[in-house]
């Protein structure tokens, strides 16, 4: 197996499927089955999921909600998505634990690093909810932080495109995909892979990121069994294909 312990980062929008908002049950089922196949291979799996399908937060207070409150609402949105994914995983027989950065004992365990690692060692899928628990930090940053804390081998960022491109492939049919790219070039070219804080954390801790299409059935398993899927982000020079 290429990686023993992974941190899977999913966007909240990915749970919408073809809906305009909310959660698509078919997408949840697909993700649970994909994660289950990988867990059965012996891979230890941590997951961070965004909340953009429910609430994205606000950039200013023009609508009467200040930035801090908006970010707190976004954290709660990630808990809703995490609970949904936890339920879907348990329906396919996967033992799962939800750890929250915000205390809510009746719903989730509080995040404790050693507890999270112990759950992973016991073969449980661990979902990290509520971001970092702090405003002004995205779930991308939460994914990088949790991955470093649990000593994950890699961050797998599941998206709806096949990797990192020099421009948006959904808008530009001639966009060029990168097979490998460095953290420096991600920042220098202002490519929207993850936010600046997340990329910096990964760069400083030499944590590789693989960006891949999570919506293609089987991609997650193929990636972890060594197939060349997606784009690898690490300290290397650009190589386009």
Beta-carbon count within 10 A of 91 CB: 11
For the stretch 149-159, pLDDT in tens is: 999 999 999 98
Burial of 58 (0-12, 13-18, 19+ CB in 10 A): middle
Q: What is the pTM of this model?
A: 0.92
Compute CA distances 34 → 29, 61, 141, 144, 239, whole Å: 9, 40, 24, 22, 29
Which stretches of the chain drop beneath a pLDDT of 70? 57-63, 236-241
CA 92 – CA 28 distance, rounded (Å): 11
- Token pair listed for 190: 């202002």
- Token pair listed for 155: 């961050």
Q: Which H helix or E strand runs over 112?
A: none
Right CATH number for 5-240 from 3.40.50.2300, 3.40.1160.10, 3.40.50.10490, 3.40.50.1950?
Answer: 3.40.1160.10
SS3 41: coil
What letter does residue 154 receive in the DSSP assignment? E
Q: Which H helix or E strand runs over 26?
A: helix 25-39
CA 48 – CA 54 distance, rounded (Å): 15
Q: What is the pLDDT of residue 155?
A: 98
Q: What is the pLDDT of residue 64?
A: 75
Beta bridge partners of 47: 8, 127
Nearest to 131 by CA among 59, 186, 81: 81
SS3 13: helix
**What secondary structure, in 3-state letters, does 186-237 show?**
HHHCCCCCCCHHHHHHHHHCCCCEEEEECCCCCHHHHHHCCCCCCEEECCCC
């Amino acid at each position: 197996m290429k990686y023993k312990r992974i941190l899977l980062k999913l966007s909240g929008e990915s749970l919408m499927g073809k809906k305009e908002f909310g959660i698509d049950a078919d997408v949840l089922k697909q993700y649970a089955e994909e994660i289950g196949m990988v867990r059965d291979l012996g891979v230890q799996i941590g997951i961070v999921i965004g909340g953009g399908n429910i609430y994205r937060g606000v950039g200013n207070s023009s609508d009467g909600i200040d930035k801090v409150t908006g970010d707190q609402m976004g954290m709660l949105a990630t808990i809703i998505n995490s609970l949904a994914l936890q339920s879907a995983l348990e329906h396919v027989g996967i033992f799962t634990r939800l750890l929250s950065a915000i205390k809510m004992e009746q719903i989730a365990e509080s995040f404790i690093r050693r507890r999270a690692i112990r759950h992973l060692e016991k073969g449980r899928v661990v979902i990290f909810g509520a971001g970092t628990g702090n405003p002004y930090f995205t779930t991308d940053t939460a994914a990088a932080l949790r991955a470093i804390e649990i000593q994950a081998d890699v961050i797998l960022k599941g998206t709806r495109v096949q990797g990192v491109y020099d421009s948006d492939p959904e808008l530009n049919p001639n966009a060029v995909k990168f097979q490998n790219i460095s953290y420096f070039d991600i920042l220098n070219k202002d490519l929207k892979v993850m936010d600046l804080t997340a990329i910096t954390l990964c760069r400083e801790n030499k944590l590789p990121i693989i960006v891949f299409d999570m919506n293609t059935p089987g991609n997650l398993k193929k990636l972890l069994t060594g197939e060349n899927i997606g784009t690898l982000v690490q300290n290397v020079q650009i190589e386009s294909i």
